[in-house]
Structure 1
Amino acid sequence: MPLVTTGVVVLDCAEPEKLAAFYVELLEGEQTDASANLVEIRAADGLRLGFRRDVNATPPSWPRPENSLQAHLEFLVEDLDDAERRVVGLGGRPIETRDAAGPYEERGYSDPAGHSFTLRLVPPTAPKQG
Protein backbone atom coordinates (compact mmCIF):
# COMPACT_ATOMS: atom_id res chain seq x y z
CA MET A 1 0.00 0.00 0.00
CA PRO A 2 1.44 3.41 -0.93
CA LEU A 3 2.25 5.90 1.78
CA VAL A 4 0.41 8.69 -0.06
CA THR A 5 -2.87 7.63 -1.64
CA THR A 6 -4.06 10.89 -3.21
CA GLY A 7 -3.23 14.53 -3.60
CA VAL A 8 -5.13 17.78 -3.59
CA VAL A 9 -4.05 20.93 -5.40
CA VAL A 10 -4.78 23.85 -3.06
CA LEU A 11 -5.07 27.46 -4.19
CA ASP A 12 -4.89 30.37 -1.76
CA CYS A 13 -7.61 32.99 -2.12
CA ALA A 14 -9.53 35.56 -0.10
CA GLU A 15 -12.95 33.91 -0.60
CA PRO A 16 -12.67 30.12 -0.85
CA GLU A 17 -16.43 29.54 -0.96
CA LYS A 18 -16.86 31.71 -4.06
CA LEU A 19 -13.82 30.27 -5.84
CA ALA A 20 -14.93 26.70 -5.05
CA ALA A 21 -18.35 27.48 -6.57
CA PHE A 22 -16.65 28.70 -9.79
CA TYR A 23 -14.68 25.46 -10.14
CA VAL A 24 -17.63 23.23 -9.16
CA GLU A 25 -19.58 24.71 -12.06
CA LEU A 26 -16.67 24.72 -14.51
CA LEU A 27 -15.65 21.11 -13.75
CA GLU A 28 -19.18 19.81 -13.14
CA GLY A 29 -18.07 18.64 -9.72
CA GLU A 30 -19.22 18.73 -6.15
CA GLN A 31 -18.06 20.20 -2.87
CA THR A 32 -16.70 17.43 -0.67
CA ASP A 33 -15.50 19.20 2.46
CA ALA A 34 -15.54 22.64 4.04
CA SER A 35 -14.19 24.30 7.15
CA ALA A 36 -13.75 27.93 8.15
CA ASN A 37 -10.60 28.25 6.05
CA LEU A 38 -10.65 25.47 3.45
CA VAL A 39 -13.15 24.23 0.88
CA GLU A 40 -12.47 21.09 -1.16
CA ILE A 41 -14.15 19.91 -4.34
CA ARG A 42 -14.02 16.85 -6.57
CA ALA A 43 -14.44 17.30 -10.32
CA ALA A 44 -16.54 14.91 -12.37
CA ASP A 45 -13.33 13.12 -13.50
CA GLY A 46 -12.04 12.76 -9.91
CA LEU A 47 -9.62 15.72 -9.82
CA ARG A 48 -9.48 17.17 -6.32
CA LEU A 49 -8.98 20.89 -5.67
CA GLY A 50 -8.87 22.84 -2.43
CA PHE A 51 -9.28 26.55 -1.78
CA ARG A 52 -7.59 27.93 1.35
CA ARG A 53 -8.54 31.25 2.90
CA ASP A 54 -5.74 33.81 2.87
CA VAL A 55 -7.07 37.32 3.37
CA ASN A 56 -3.76 38.70 2.08
CA ALA A 57 -3.69 36.55 -1.07
CA THR A 58 -2.26 38.37 -4.07
CA PRO A 59 -3.16 36.96 -7.47
CA PRO A 60 -0.26 36.14 -9.75
CA SER A 61 0.44 38.65 -12.49
CA TRP A 62 1.35 36.13 -15.19
CA PRO A 63 2.26 36.73 -17.95
CA ARG A 64 3.71 39.98 -16.57
CA PRO A 65 7.03 39.46 -14.72
CA GLU A 66 6.19 41.43 -11.55
CA ASN A 67 4.94 38.34 -9.74
CA SER A 68 5.61 34.65 -10.18
CA LEU A 69 3.17 32.25 -11.77
CA GLN A 70 2.72 30.52 -8.37
CA ALA A 71 0.55 27.71 -9.76
CA HIS A 72 -0.98 26.80 -13.06
CA LEU A 73 -3.87 24.48 -13.87
CA GLU A 74 -4.58 22.91 -17.26
CA PHE A 75 -7.93 21.50 -18.29
CA LEU A 76 -8.46 19.41 -21.42
CA VAL A 77 -11.47 20.35 -23.55
CA GLU A 78 -12.96 19.16 -26.83
CA ASP A 79 -14.21 22.59 -27.98
CA LEU A 80 -12.24 25.70 -27.05
CA ASP A 81 -14.97 28.14 -28.05
CA ASP A 82 -17.66 26.40 -25.99
CA ALA A 83 -15.31 26.09 -23.02
CA GLU A 84 -14.36 29.78 -23.27
CA ARG A 85 -18.02 30.83 -23.24
CA ARG A 86 -18.55 28.75 -20.10
CA VAL A 87 -15.47 30.17 -18.34
CA VAL A 88 -16.45 33.77 -19.12
CA GLY A 89 -20.08 33.09 -18.17
CA LEU A 90 -18.91 31.87 -14.76
CA GLY A 91 -16.77 34.96 -14.15
CA GLY A 92 -13.38 33.89 -15.51
CA ARG A 93 -11.33 36.26 -17.68
CA PRO A 94 -9.23 35.60 -20.78
CA ILE A 95 -5.54 36.28 -20.25
CA GLU A 96 -4.66 35.69 -23.86
CA THR A 97 -7.10 34.79 -26.59
CA ARG A 98 -4.81 33.77 -29.43
CA ASP A 99 -4.23 30.10 -30.05
CA ALA A 100 -0.76 28.89 -29.10
CA ALA A 101 1.47 27.60 -31.86
CA GLY A 102 2.32 23.93 -31.84
CA PRO A 103 0.53 20.62 -31.88
CA TYR A 104 -2.01 21.63 -29.20
CA GLU A 105 -4.27 24.62 -29.24
CA GLU A 106 -4.65 26.32 -25.88
CA ARG A 107 -5.97 29.51 -24.32
CA GLY A 108 -5.12 31.15 -21.01
CA TYR A 109 -7.60 32.47 -18.43
CA SER A 110 -7.77 33.63 -14.86
CA ASP A 111 -10.41 32.53 -12.40
CA PRO A 112 -12.40 35.12 -10.41
CA ALA A 113 -9.60 35.28 -7.78
CA GLY A 114 -6.86 35.80 -10.41
CA HIS A 115 -5.30 32.29 -10.58
CA SER A 116 -4.27 31.39 -14.10
CA PHE A 117 -5.34 28.26 -15.92
CA THR A 118 -5.23 26.95 -19.45
CA LEU A 119 -7.87 25.27 -21.57
CA ARG A 120 -6.07 22.91 -23.92
CA LEU A 121 -7.68 21.21 -26.87
CA VAL A 122 -7.70 17.42 -26.60
CA PRO A 123 -5.66 16.09 -29.52
CA PRO A 124 -7.67 13.89 -31.90
CA THR A 125 -7.22 10.18 -31.29
CA ALA A 126 -8.56 8.87 -34.59
CA PRO A 127 -6.02 8.24 -37.36
CA LYS A 128 -6.06 10.62 -40.32
CA GLN A 129 -8.21 9.46 -43.21
CA GLY A 130 -7.06 9.52 -46.81
Structure 2
Amino acid sequence: MTVPKTTVLVLDSAEPERLARFYAELLGATAGPAAGDGELLLVTGRTGAVLGVRRDPDHAPPSWPPPEGSQQAHLHILVAAQCLDEAEREAVALGARPVAAEDDGSRPGSRTTLRRYTDPAGHAFLLAAVGEDLAGL
Protein backbone atom coordinates (compact mmCIF):
# COMPACT_ATOMS: atom_id res chain seq x y z
CA MET A 1 0.00 0.00 0.00
CA THR A 2 1.30 3.45 -0.88
CA VAL A 3 1.23 6.13 1.77
CA PRO A 4 -1.06 9.00 0.59
CA LYS A 5 0.99 11.95 -0.66
CA THR A 6 0.60 15.19 -2.47
CA THR A 7 3.10 17.57 -4.01
CA VAL A 8 3.35 21.30 -4.09
CA LEU A 9 5.90 23.48 -5.81
CA VAL A 10 7.49 25.84 -3.26
CA LEU A 11 8.93 29.22 -4.27
CA ASP A 12 11.40 31.09 -2.10
CA SER A 13 10.87 34.78 -1.47
CA ALA A 14 12.22 37.53 0.77
CA GLU A 15 8.58 38.69 1.06
CA PRO A 16 6.52 35.47 1.15
CA GLU A 17 3.26 37.10 2.24
CA ARG A 18 3.36 39.46 -0.76
CA LEU A 19 4.18 36.65 -3.19
CA ALA A 20 1.52 34.31 -1.78
CA ARG A 21 -1.05 37.13 -2.07
CA PHE A 22 0.03 37.76 -5.71
CA TYR A 23 -0.57 34.12 -6.71
CA ALA A 24 -3.76 33.80 -4.65
CA GLU A 25 -5.27 36.81 -6.43
CA LEU A 26 -3.97 35.74 -9.85
CA LEU A 27 -5.36 32.20 -9.46
CA GLY A 28 -8.58 33.07 -7.64
CA ALA A 29 -7.35 31.15 -4.61
CA THR A 30 -6.59 31.80 -0.94
CA ALA A 31 -3.28 31.98 0.91
CA GLY A 32 -2.49 31.04 4.47
CA PRO A 33 -0.01 29.26 6.69
CA ALA A 34 0.51 25.52 6.26
CA ALA A 35 -0.70 23.54 9.26
CA GLY A 36 2.20 22.77 11.57
CA ASP A 37 4.73 24.75 9.52
CA GLY A 38 5.16 28.40 10.44
CA GLU A 39 7.59 28.99 7.58
CA LEU A 40 5.41 27.83 4.68
CA LEU A 41 2.43 29.63 3.16
CA LEU A 42 0.11 27.62 0.93
CA VAL A 43 -1.89 29.01 -1.96
CA THR A 44 -5.02 26.86 -2.09
CA GLY A 45 -7.57 26.66 -4.90
CA ARG A 46 -10.55 24.52 -5.83
CA THR A 47 -8.39 21.40 -6.11
CA GLY A 48 -6.34 21.93 -2.95
CA ALA A 49 -2.85 23.35 -2.47
CA VAL A 50 -1.43 24.56 -5.74
CA LEU A 51 1.67 26.44 -4.64
CA GLY A 52 3.79 27.04 -1.58
CA VAL A 53 5.84 30.11 -0.66
CA ARG A 54 8.68 30.02 1.86
CA ARG A 55 10.63 32.86 3.45
CA ASP A 56 14.24 33.12 2.33
CA PRO A 57 15.72 36.44 3.45
CA ASP A 58 18.68 35.88 1.08
CA HIS A 59 16.50 35.12 -1.97
CA ALA A 60 18.03 36.35 -5.22
CA PRO A 61 15.63 36.47 -8.20
CA PRO A 62 16.52 33.96 -10.89
CA SER A 63 17.73 35.17 -14.27
CA TRP A 64 15.09 34.33 -16.86
CA PRO A 65 15.31 33.61 -19.64
CA PRO A 66 18.98 32.71 -19.28
CA PRO A 67 21.22 33.78 -22.13
CA GLU A 68 21.96 30.16 -23.06
CA GLY A 69 18.27 29.60 -23.90
CA SER A 70 17.85 26.83 -21.31
CA GLN A 71 14.54 26.92 -19.46
CA GLN A 72 14.48 26.98 -15.69
CA ALA A 73 11.62 25.56 -13.67
CA HIS A 74 8.62 27.79 -14.19
CA LEU A 75 4.85 27.74 -13.80
CA HIS A 76 2.44 27.29 -16.70
CA ILE A 77 -0.91 28.88 -15.91
CA LEU A 78 -3.48 27.58 -18.40
CA VAL A 79 -6.05 30.10 -19.62
CA ALA A 80 -8.88 29.78 -22.13
CA ALA A 81 -7.69 31.41 -25.36
CA GLN A 82 -10.46 34.02 -25.39
CA CYS A 83 -9.46 35.11 -21.85
CA LEU A 84 -5.71 35.52 -22.47
CA ASP A 85 -5.73 39.31 -22.80
CA GLU A 86 -7.83 39.69 -19.65
CA ALA A 87 -5.56 37.28 -17.74
CA GLU A 88 -2.56 39.30 -18.86
CA ARG A 89 -4.12 42.55 -17.61
CA GLU A 90 -4.86 40.90 -14.24
CA ALA A 91 -1.31 39.56 -13.90
CA VAL A 92 0.32 42.89 -14.73
CA ALA A 93 -2.06 44.82 -12.43
CA LEU A 94 -1.03 42.47 -9.60
CA GLY A 95 2.67 43.12 -10.20
CA ALA A 96 3.81 40.65 -12.88
CA ARG A 97 6.48 41.91 -15.24
CA PRO A 98 6.21 40.88 -18.93
CA VAL A 99 9.33 39.22 -20.34
CA ALA A 100 8.29 38.22 -23.89
CA ALA A 101 5.42 36.85 -25.95
CA GLU A 102 5.51 34.25 -28.67
CA ASP A 103 3.30 31.96 -30.68
CA ASP A 104 4.10 28.27 -30.44
CA GLY A 105 2.69 26.43 -33.44
CA SER A 106 4.81 23.33 -32.87
CA ARG A 107 1.90 20.89 -32.68
CA PRO A 108 0.09 20.23 -35.95
CA GLY A 109 -3.34 21.79 -35.98
CA SER A 110 -2.72 23.65 -32.75
CA ARG A 111 -1.70 27.21 -31.98
CA THR A 112 -0.96 27.91 -28.34
CA THR A 113 -0.03 31.44 -27.42
CA LEU A 114 2.47 31.78 -24.59
CA ARG A 115 3.09 34.99 -22.67
CA ARG A 116 6.08 35.10 -20.35
CA TYR A 117 6.35 36.99 -17.05
CA THR A 118 8.20 37.18 -13.81
CA ASP A 119 6.30 37.41 -10.54
CA PRO A 120 7.10 40.14 -7.97
CA ALA A 121 9.96 38.00 -6.57
CA GLY A 122 11.43 37.28 -10.03
CA HIS A 123 10.19 33.69 -10.59
CA ALA A 124 9.21 32.82 -14.15
CA PHE A 125 5.70 31.91 -15.21
CA LEU A 126 3.73 31.65 -18.43
CA LEU A 127 0.15 32.36 -19.31
CA ALA A 128 -0.63 29.66 -21.86
CA ALA A 129 -3.79 30.04 -23.96
CA VAL A 130 -5.43 26.68 -24.60
CA GLY A 131 -8.85 25.42 -25.64
CA GLU A 132 -11.44 25.47 -22.88
CA ASP A 133 -11.58 21.67 -22.83
CA LEU A 134 -7.85 21.50 -22.10
CA ALA A 135 -7.79 24.29 -19.55
CA GLY A 136 -10.60 22.76 -17.54
CA LEU A 137 -12.19 26.22 -17.45
Q: Which interval holds the TM-score relative to the shorter structure?
A: 0.7 to 0.9
Q: Deviations over 1:2-51 (max 9, x none)?
A: 32421111001101000000011001111242555321111234352111
| Residue 117 of structure 1: how far off its partner (Å) | 0.3
| Residue 69 of structure 1: how far off its partner (Å) | 5.2
- 2: CA distance, partners of 1:47 / 1:75: 15
Q: Give structure 2 stretches of 5+ with no counterpart.
A: none
What is the TM-score normalised by the length of structure 2? 0.78
**Counterparts of residues 1-130 of structure 1 (less than 5 Å):** 1-34=1-34, 36-65=38-67, 70-78=72-80, 79-102=83-106, 103-123=111-131, 125=133
| Residue 94 of structure 1: how far off its partner (Å) | 0.5
For the 8 Å contact 2:102–2:113, the answer to whether it is kept is no
Could you tell which deviates more after superposition, 25-34 or 39-48? 39-48
Q: Give structure 1 stretches of 5+ with no counterpart.
A: 126-130
- 2: CA distance, partners of 1:36 / 1:121: 36
Structure 1 SS opposite 2:7: coil
Q: CA RMSD in A?
A: 2.2
For the 8 Å contact 1:59–1:115, the answer to whether it is kept is yes
For the 8 Å contact 2:16–2:55, the answer to whether it is kept is yes
What is the TM-score normalised by the length of structure 1? 0.82
Structure richer in strand, relative to its length? 2
Structure richer in helix, relative to its length? 2
For the 8 Å contact 1:100–1:107, the answer to whether it is kept is no
**Identity across the alignment (%):** 48
